[in-house]
Structure formats: C-alpha cells, structure tokens
C-alpha cells in the first residue's frame, strides 16, 4: 500500500513539473525572447498577458514616397492574404500601406515577416515601420 502511494506521489510531482516547464512563468517566457525590435514587441505582449500560442491580428506599417508605390506593395501583400488599405501618411509627405493578418506571433515568424516587409518597402523606395497587435488571451 505504501509503495502505491509513493508511486502516485512521484507521478503527481512529475506531472506538476512537466506542466510548469511546459507553460512556464511569464518572466521565464520573456527571458527566452531575443532583445531586438520584434522581440521587444513580443515581450510587451507576454508581459501584458497575451497568449502567443494564439493567433493575433497583427498590423504592419510600410511608408512610401507616393501612392503608386504604396499601392503596388499593397497588391503584393493582398495576394499573400493580407488585408488593409493605402492612405496618406500622418505627415502627408508619404503614403502608408497598412496591412493586417492573423498570425501566431513567434520570434522566428516575425523576423521572417520583417525581412519580407523590409524587402518590399526597400524595393519601392519606402520604409518598413514595424508591427503591432492587440492582446490575445
């Protein structure tokens, strides 16, 4: 009987450790994210209680010197499943290509998207200005 209780007790402890290691605390999850522009956004999301394993409606901002180049970038992104619009930038000297897409935001995914967005912006003489997203729990 005692051996059975010991086995059950050990099993409970092991399951508890597995759950803690699998989910981890927010501080532990934050400490594993690299400290670069995308990593900082991800850290802010985790600190605010966002569940990075769930899709987030990520928003991306690309600025171009004219409407034609912003529209060309938008068409290319729309073909990849992004939605959004092209509008005058806040300073009215540039045009904003604003797009959104539901994404599960891992660091690797966001780095890949950053590379694609930067390439697209540079090709049109523009600038990729990063991303953001509402919290998803």
Fold annotation for 33-132 = Alpha-Beta Plaits (3.30.70)
Reported pTM: 0.78
Per-residue pLDDT of the chain (137 residues; tens, 9 = 90+): 444 433 433 333 333 333 334 445 565 578 889 999 999 999 999 999 999 999 999 999 999 999 999 999 999 999 999 999 999 998 878 999 999 999 999 999 999 999 999 999 999 999 999 999 999 99
Distance between CA atoms of 46 and 104, rounded to whole angstroms? 13
What pLDDT is stored for residue 20 in this prediction?
Answer: 37
Residues 6+ positions from 101 with CB-CB distance below 8 Å: 57, 58, 60, 81, 82, 83
Domain ranges of the chain: 1-32, 33-132
Residue among 98, 24, 12 at smallest CA distance from 61: 98
């Amino acid at each position: 009987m005692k051996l059975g209780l010991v086995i059950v007790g050990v099993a409970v402890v092991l399951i508890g450790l597995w759950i803690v290691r699998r989910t981890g605390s927010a501080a532990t999850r934050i400490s594993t994210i690299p400290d670069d522009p995308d990593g900082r956004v991800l850290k802010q999301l985790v600190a605010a209680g966002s569940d990075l394993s769930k899709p987030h409606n990520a928003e991306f901002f690309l600025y171009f010197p004219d409407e034609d180049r912003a529209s060309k970038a938008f068409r290319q992104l729309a073909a990849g499943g992004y939605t959004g619009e092209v509008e005058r930038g806040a300073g009215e000297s540039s045009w904003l290509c604003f797009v959104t897409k539901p994404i599960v935001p891992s660091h690797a995914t966001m780095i890949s998207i950053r590379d694609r967005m930067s390439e697209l912006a540079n090709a049109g003489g523009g600038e990729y200005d990063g991303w953001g997203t509402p919290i998803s729990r």
